């Protein structure tokens, strides 16, 4: 039994719990506000990480060390990291624009949000003010982890398995979406890539830049290979390959 378990089981709020709460609760709130207010998506994600970390510590304070640690490992460590992974690829200059599409939307959202928070807060405070914890010592008697395991694999086993089935379905779906069918003969190793590169008929050098040795500096103008042929590898695939005719390249007589 940890000190934190003892802390919460005592019924009344101990000093340690109160101090931790009053340090972390403003931080968690601050993180939440920062997440909404931050203009940069990565900053938003980081504020959310702060809130999640505080929540993890709160779980530990409330005699649930296992759920607290899992909150930090799974949500903060893995899921938010995947979010960051995507956000980082978006680019660091992508900030949200602050133009309101609906007039007065922001003020209305702030007022309604504060009102909702006030309602929920007072409601919970009124309901739970005089409530004390019951049975915490019994469920944590043989250890927090063991208690959770017992419940998960007896009473809630169906819900647990159903959730895991849902997650597996999602994972399989993602894999199907990302899967590219590749036959065995399509796979090429390094040696055969090199052989194909130096096979007769293939130009082994790097691609010439568009417009090299060409009559025009347009991207659509194909480059010339060292032997004088035009190469269509130098132009983007969506552009048709064409060379300007003598008539097109001659002066139009507009600069008299």
Partner 1 sequence: MADFGRDPWWLVLGKIVFAFAFGLLATLLGVWFERRVVGYMQVRPGPNQVGPFGLLQTLADGLKMAFKEDILPKAADKVVYFFAPTISVICAVTALSVVPFGPMVSIFGHHTPLQVTDVPVAVLLLLACSSMGVYGIVLGGWASGSTYPLLGGLRSSAQMISYEVAMGLSIVAVFMTAGTMSTSGIVAAQGDATRLTIFGTEIPAPGWYAILLLPSFIIFFIATVGETNRAPFDLPEAESELVAGFMTEYSSLKFALFMLSEYVAMVTMSAVTTTLFLGGWRAPWPITIWEGANSGWWPMLWFFGKVIALVFVFVWLRGTLPRLRYDQFMRLGWKVLLPINLVWILVLSGLRSIEDWDTRGKVIAVGIPAGLLLIATLFWPSRRPQPKPTTQEQVDNRPYGSFPLPPMDLQVPPSPRITRVVAEREPANIVAGSDSREV
Residues that bind partner 1 (CB under 8 A): 1-4, 40, 42-43, 46, 49, 56, 65-66, 69-70, 72-73, 76-78, 81-82, 84-85, 88-89, 92, 143-145, 198-201, 204
- CB nearer to partner 1: pick between 32 and 143: 143
- CB nearer to partner 1: pick between 79 and 119: 79
CB of 187 to partner 1, least distance (A): 12
Q: Which two tokens stand for residue 98?
A: 């602050």
- CB nearer to partner 1: pick between 117 and 196: 196
| Angstrom distance (rounded) from CA 94 to CA 41 | 8
153 vs 144, 148, 156, CA distance in Å?
14, 9, 6
- Residue 143 exposed, middle or buried by CB count within 10 Å (0-12, 13-18, 19+): middle
CB of 28 to partner 1, least distance (A): 16
CB of 156 to partner 1, least distance (A): 20
CB of 107 to partner 1, least distance (A): 28
CB of 99 to partner 1, least distance (A): 23
- CB nearer to partner 1: pick between 22 and 85: 85
| Angstrom distance (rounded) from CA 52 to CA 55 | 5
Torsion of CA 212, 213, 217, 219, to 10 degrees: -50
- CB nearer to partner 1: pick between 89 and 238: 89
50 vs 20, 55, 62, 81, 92, CA distance in Å?
15, 9, 19, 13, 20
What is the DSSP code (8-state) at residue 91? -
- CB nearer to partner 1: pick between 72 and 223: 72
162 vs 79, 157, 234, CA distance in Å?
21, 8, 54
The residue among 42, 18, 47 whose CA lies nearest residue 31 is 47
CB of 69 to partner 1, least distance (A): 4
CB of 5 to partner 1, least distance (A): 8
- CB nearer to partner 1: pick between 195 and 242: 195
């Amino acid at each position: 039994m940890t000190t934190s378990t003892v802390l919460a089981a005592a019924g009344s709020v101990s000093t340690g719990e109160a101090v931790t709460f009053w340090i972390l609760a403003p931080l968690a709130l601050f993180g939440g506000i920062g997440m909404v207010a931050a203009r940069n998506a990565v900053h938003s994600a980081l504020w959310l990480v702060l809130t999640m970390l505080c929540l993890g510590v709160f779980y530990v304070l409330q005699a649930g060390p296992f759920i607290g640690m899992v909150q930090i490992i799974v949500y903060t460590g893995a899921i938010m990291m995947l979010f960051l992974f995507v956000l980082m690829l978006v680019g660091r200059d992508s900030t949200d624009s602050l133009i309101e599409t609906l007039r007065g939307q922001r003020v209305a959202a702030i007022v309604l949000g504060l009102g909702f928070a006030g309602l929920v807060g007072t409601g919970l405070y009124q309901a739970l003010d005089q409530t004390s914890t019951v049975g915490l010592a019994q469920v944590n008697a043989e250890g927090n982890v063991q208690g959770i395991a017992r419940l998960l694999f007896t009473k809630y086993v169906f819900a647990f398995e159903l959730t895991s089935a849902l997650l597996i379905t999602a994972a399989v779906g993602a894999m199907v979406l990302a899967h590219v069918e590749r036959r065995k003969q399509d796979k090429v190793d390094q040696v055969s890539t090199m052989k194909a590169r130096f096979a007769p008929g293939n130009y082994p050098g790097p691609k010439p830049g568009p417009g090299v040795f060409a009559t025009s500096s347009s991207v659509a103008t194909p480059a010339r290979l060292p032997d004088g042929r035009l190469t269509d590898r130098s132009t983007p695939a969506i552009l048709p390959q064409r060379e300007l005719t003598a008539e097109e390249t001659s002066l139009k007589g507009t600069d008299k």
